[in-house]
């Protein structure tokens, strides 16, 4: 029912109702996420070693932790590698996911169903199981990848240690992350393309 015209306070209460309904979720979010962030911020200004952690004793050292970290060459080296790793993974996931999503839109019903099932299975595989599969694939002695490369004539790869070098390890981890992330992008993109009217595709083609 609409409130009677001129009823005092009714419009103000109606406008505040959504915020009152969101208040419990906001309080829970602040308690569950805000307090740990504040606690971590306070710990970053303290000196903690194993003995202090066990005895629950802390020593306040100001910004010495930040000074030591920001002046460390290892920190900036790791930061640069993390940025490169993230950029490469995001670009590959979005590019390949877009291509697979467009492929789903062009396939027939049977092939689309088969590919969709494969994408869902890859996406639903637990990370631990996926990591184990990739360990078997790229194992130095009995890995399938080394066996295939050796059979194709690349005999120097018969016992190649993929996790022994920085670049090869980077390649394997990137391959694992991209493989498990492509289905999410592809399925969502395909679902989005099905909502676009055909007239827009015709207009774009013209």
pLDDT digits (tens, 9 = 90+) for 22-53: 888 888 888 888 888 888 888 888 877 777 76
Same domain, yes or no, for 184 and 86? yes
Same domain, yes or no, for 67 and 89? no
Rounded CA-CA distance 82/89 in Å is 11
Same domain, yes or no, for 190 and 107? yes
What percentage of the chain exceeds 90 in pLDDT? 12
pTM for this one? Answer: 0.66
CA distances, 51 to each of 40, 47, 59, 135 (Å): 19, 11, 12, 37
Same domain, yes or no, for 67 and 44? yes
Same domain, yes or no, for 61 and 114? no
pLDDT digits (tens, 9 = 90+) for 103-160: 888 888 888 888 888 888 888 888 888 888 888 888 877 778 888 888 888 777 777 7
Angle between helices 109-124 and 73-106 (to 10 degrees): 160
Q: 93 and 178 in contact (C-beta within 8 Å)?
A: yes
Residues 6+ apart with CB under 8 A from 45: 60, 61, 62, 63, 65
Tokens 């020593």: give the residue.
59
Domain count, the chain: 2
Q: Residue 167: helix, strand or coil by DSSP?
A: helix
Range of the domain at 139: 73-206
């Amino acid at each position: 029912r609409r409130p009677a015209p001129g009823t005092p306070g009714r419009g103000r209460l109606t406008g505040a109702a959504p915020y009152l309904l969101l208040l419990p979720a906001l309080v829970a979010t602040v308690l569950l996420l805000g307090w740990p962030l504040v606690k971590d911020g306070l710990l970053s200004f303290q000196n903690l070693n194993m003995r202090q952690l066990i005895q629950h004793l802390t020593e306040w050292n100001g910004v010495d932790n930040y000074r030591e970290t920001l002046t460390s060459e290892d920190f900036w080296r790791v930061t640069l590698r993390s940025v490169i790793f993230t950029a490469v993974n995001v670009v590959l996931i979005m590019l390949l996911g877009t291509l697979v999503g467009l492929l789903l839109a062009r396939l027939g019903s049977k092939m689309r169903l088969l590919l969709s099932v494969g994408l869902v299975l890859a996406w639903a595989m637990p990370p631990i199981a996926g990591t184990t599969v990739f360990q078997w694939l790229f194992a130095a002695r009995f890995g399938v990848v080394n066996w295939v490369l050796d059979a194709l004539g690349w005999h120097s790869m018969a016992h190649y240690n993929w996790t022994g070098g920085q670049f090869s390890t980077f390649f394997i981890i990137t391959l694992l992350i991209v493989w498990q992330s492509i289905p999410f992008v592809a399925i969502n993109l395909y679902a989005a393309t099905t909502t676009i009217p055909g007239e827009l595709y015709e207009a774009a083609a013209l």
